[in-house]
Amino acid sequence: MPTYKLTLAYEGTAYAGWQIQTNADTIQGNLESAIQRITGYAVRVMGSGRTDSGVHALGQVASFSADSRLDGNEMLRALNGNLPLDIRVLGCQIAKDGFHALRDATGKRYRYHIRDGDLPNLFRRQYSWYVPDHLDEKKMTSAGRFLLGRHDFSSFEAAGAPRATSVRTVSELDVQRRGGEGREEVRLEVHADGFLYNMVRNMVGTLVEVGRGARPAEWVAEVLKARDRQVAGPTAPAHGLFLVHVDYDDV
């Protein structure tokens, strides 16, 4: 029985997140329904992680095993023919035996979009957080350096998803301003070996406090050391967050 590895993109606006739910439309639910129509029986799809309601993906990864003769390209075409247009399979291949999208993941990259300044962008409102204050991206970059490396990120973990450990290694954290006249958008990109529940959104909310001048850059080091979610900044909205890429050592 082959195991398929899928690379997916989706617009999360209309969905209650990745994980299948009884009374809500989800990414996992749509994938499993599409596979059942193709194969004729129920299959469980495993994602590399659960994206929340409203979160988008440019490179989510999922896996499933099915008694099917379809090769990767044939399965890709069949899935896209049975999925809504806001969920697309970008790649599909037969993976090695035992491949598991969640357990085998070794790292992830997320990107967060912020629109700051006088006016929100009407056509980006579902894909970026509008902050009316002008943000100083250089101060945000300085503050973000305190988050690089291996730390206990308890201060950036939302309640509700207990883990064996809150220690993670952040290898990259980049803050840049993009767009016209140097004020269009602030984009934060972060790569780590794993993320706690709402960790990226809580990091963004904390760095925005620095960017808007409410806190000094050194405050982020104090937040990290406290290991207390109550001392960090607010949780940034879900709709500005994109899962960009998932790392695997060998497929």
Q: What is the pTM of this model?
A: 0.94
Same domain, 115 and 75: no
**Quick one: pLDDT at residue 154?**
96
Q: Is residue 230 part of a domain?
A: yes
- Pick the catalytic residue: 52, 104, 116, 136? 52
- pLDDT tens digit string along 149-159? 999 999 999 87
Given a contact cutoff of 8 angstroms between Cβ atoms, the answer to whether 103 and 249 are in contact is: no
**Quick one: pLDDT at residue 251?**
54
What's 102's DSSP letter?
A: T
Same domain, 86 and 130: no
Same domain, 173 and 68: no
Categorize the per-residue pLDDT at 193 as very low, low, confident or very high, splitting at 50, 70 and 90: very high
Query: Of 94, 125, 151, which residue is a domain's last?
Result: 94
**Quick one: pLDDT at residue 182?**
47
Average pLDDT in the 91-98 region? 94
Q: Is residue 176 part of a domain?
A: yes
The residues with which 190 forms a beta bridge, in sequence order, are 110, 173
Buried b (16+ CB within 10 A) or exposed e, 69-88: ebebeebbebbeeebeeebb
**Quick one: pLDDT at residue 30?**
98
Same domain, 124 and 207: yes
Query: Of 94, 115, 135, which residue is a domain's last?
Result: 94
- pLDDT tens digit string along 28-60? 999 999 999 999 999 999 999 999 999 999 999
Q: Is residue 99 part of a domain?
A: no
Same domain, 243 and 151: yes
Q: Is residue 45 part of a domain?
A: yes
Same domain, 10 and 46: yes
Distance from C-alpha of 1 to C-alpha of 4, rounded to nearest angstrom: 10
What's 229's DSSP letter?
A: G
Distance from C-alpha of 95 to C-alpha of 81, rounded to nearest angstrom: 22
What CATH number should be reported for the domain holding residue 79? 3.30.70.580
Range of the domain at 85: 3-94
- Determine the 3-state secondary structure of 78 from DSSP: helix
- pLDDT tens digit string along 76-89? 999 999 999 999 99
* Structural domain count of the chain: 2
Average pLDDT in the 172-181 region? 85
Query: Of 32, 66, 94, which residue is a domain's last?
Result: 94
Residue ranges of the alpha helices (H) in the chain? 27-39, 72-82, 137-144, 199-211, 219-226
Res 101 pLDDT > 70: yes
What CATH number should be reported for the domain holding residue 181? 3.30.70.660
**Quick one: pLDDT at residue 121?**
81
What phi and psi, each to the nearest 5 degrees, are found at residue 156? -115, 15
Distances in Å between the alpha carbon of 121 and those of 7, 95, 126, 137, 224?
29, 41, 10, 19, 33
**Of 120 and 145, the one with more pLDDT:** 145
- Least Cα distance to 192 among 137, 235, 153 occurs for 153
Categorize the per-residue pLDDT at 162 as very low, low, confident or very high, splitting at 50, 70 and 90: low
Buried b (16+ CB within 10 A) or exposed e, 207-217: bbbbbbeebeb
Same domain, 142 and 209: yes
**Quick one: pLDDT at residue 135?**
95
Res 112 pLDDT > 80: yes
Q: Among this protein's residues, is 52 annotated catalytic? A: yes
- pLDDT tens digit string along 198-243? 999 999 999 999 999 999 999 999 999 999 999 999 999 999 999 9
Name residues whose C-beta falls within 8 Å of residue 82's C-beta, 6 or more positions apart in sequence. 33, 34, 37, 38
